[in-house]
Amino acid sequence: MVERRVAKEIEKVREKFDVECVDDNIMKWHIALQGPDHTPYFGGTFLVQLDFPNDYPFHGPKVKFHTKIYHPNINHKGDVCMGIIDNEWIPSHTALIVMNGLVSLLENPNPNDPLVPEIASIIKRDKKKFIIVAEEWTHTYAM
């Protein structure tokens, strides 16, 4: 039942993102996330992994960035702090909603709910500096 739902969802996600199953496992995806226009991530390609639990959709997928990124809501291990995958998950959410949420997070970092307080502090104090460093990291790690 879970695998059937995930198989349907991968087709929807493939309409917008480049997705591959890891080791032919429908429950583990690698997704190439393109940095959105007008952000310091533009031009970069970020590898994101989604791991679906056996009780999906009652619990959301685990999300991890494999590409280093300078962002207040994504730490050095690739963990992501985003409400819809954390405390706001509901069974009607889908992988496409998660991916669209990640795009939105890249477009609008949330320094008020940071996973990396140091970067959040920089955004609040000096947004230009944040943009410069985020662009440097994008060019170094995502291109």
Residues catalogued as catalytic: 81
CB 109 within 8 A of CB 73: yes
The residues facing 101 across adjacent strands are none
Long-range contacts made by residues 87-93, C-beta under 8 angstroms, separation at least 24? 89/59, 89/60, 91/57, 91/58, 92/57, 93/57, 93/60
Strands (E), 35-140: 45-51, 62-65
